[in-house]
Copies of this chain bind each other. A is one copy, B any other.
Amino acid sequence: MTAAARPYHHGNLHRALLDEALAMIEESGPAALSLRALARRLGVSHAAPTHHFADKAALLTAIAAEGYAQLADALEAAAAPAGEATASSASGAGAFLELGVAYVRFAVDHPAHFAVMSAPTLYHPDEPEAAAAGRRAARLLYAGAGRLAPGSPRAVGLAGWCLMHGLATLWLAGNLRDLDVPPTDIARTIGATAFSYT
């Protein structure tokens, strides 16, 4: 328990930089992130991060790529739940609603990832890995819309995206705090309200 001499090498600075950056973004948003403050919080010299990320945009790009991958995973899991046979949400409408709920849950549970993903001017959205993960998430969304409304998957997919993105954004900005209802419950309510053609 005595303060052991801090080892020269950090061990896993790459991952630590990402995690601490996420914590800082959660506190003050992606625009306010400073690499020097990040290094300070990790107890590392301020020049150390450049060995892992060339600059702030590179770090945020890694976070965005990770976020899109996690979002796509979450949508995938919502679209094809493990106990599929027992699930009552086999209908197109029910499945599409679950996609929306998963989207909102991801945003609320990973606000820093979501904030970075929503600010494409701060990173490099065309970086291959980030772009591919984003496309995968979009594909899952529109596939769900296609199962609900085979005739107009694009309009329905876009409407669903806007609806849930708006909810997530308003919630995270604190605009819905006085509702005192968990955001995933709100997602079910407004999802059922808007897409009530059974």
Contact = CB atoms under 8 A, between A and B. Distances in A.
Nearest to A169: B169
Interface residues of A, number: 32
A193 B156 contact: yes
Contact of A155 (B165, B166, B170, B190): B190
A87 interface: no
Contacts of A195: 194
* Top 3 closest pairs, chain A to chain B, by CB: A166-B166, A162-B166, A159-B190
A155 B120 contact: no
A23 to B, nearest CB: 16
Interface string A165-188: 111011001110000000000100
A189 interface: yes
Contacts of A170: 161-162, 165
